[in-house]
Amino acid sequence: MADSFGNYVRRRRESLRQGDPSFSVRQVAARIGVQPSYLSKVERGDEAPPSEGKIIALAVELDEAPDVLLALADKVSSDLKEAICKRPRLFAELIRELKDLPDHAVLSIVREVRDGKW
């Protein structure tokens, strides 16, 4: 999984770098507060993915969804963990029920902003 995370980050960063040189390993590493050599190793899969905080910072830099990068790193964001741990039985059951549904069916249960009369 670590290799897949690294590859994904490298491809995304290189793609952005084609249009903007500030997406070099050195500059992205500086912006998220890690050493360039460390980010380079992560991208090559020689190091495990970084902490949740650094992954979220990286997601912001690369204009990616933090949850997607966390999932690639085999992690779940701490707010989701907290929500599940508060009501573990309920959420475990819910996720198992929903896991095989197609996206549009899952989206249909997302809470919507209600429109009224105006």
Partner 1 sequence: MIELKNDNLLFRFPKIHPRAKLRIELQRTLRIPDDGRTYPLPPGLGAFPLRHVDDLGPSVPASWLDHGGVVLPMYQSEALWLYFDSDYIADNDVAYPFAVKIAAGKINAVTGEDWANGLDRDPQDYIVVPEQPWLDGYCVERGTIRQFVAMPLGSGYSAEEQIRGSAEYGGLQIIAYPMKPEVFERRFPRLPEPHESRMYGDFSVGQVCTSPDMGLAPGGAMHQEIYSDPFDIEDWAQDSASRCFVHIANSLVWRAITGEQPPSTPPTAREYTDRGMPWFDYYADADAECADGSTVLRGLQGVAGLGKAKGDNALPENESVAPEKIVQLRRGLGKHQVREGRF
Question: Which residues contact partner 1 (rule: CB under 8 A)?
Answer: 11-12, 15-16, 19-20, 22, 63-68, 103-104, 107, 110-118
DSSP string for residues in 64-91: --HHHHHHHTT---HHHHHHHHHSHHHH
Looking at the Cβ atoms of 11 and 87, the one nearer to partner 1 is 11
Q: Which is nearer to partner 1, 79 or 97 (CB)?
A: 79
Residue whose CB is less far from partner 1, 37 or 108: 108
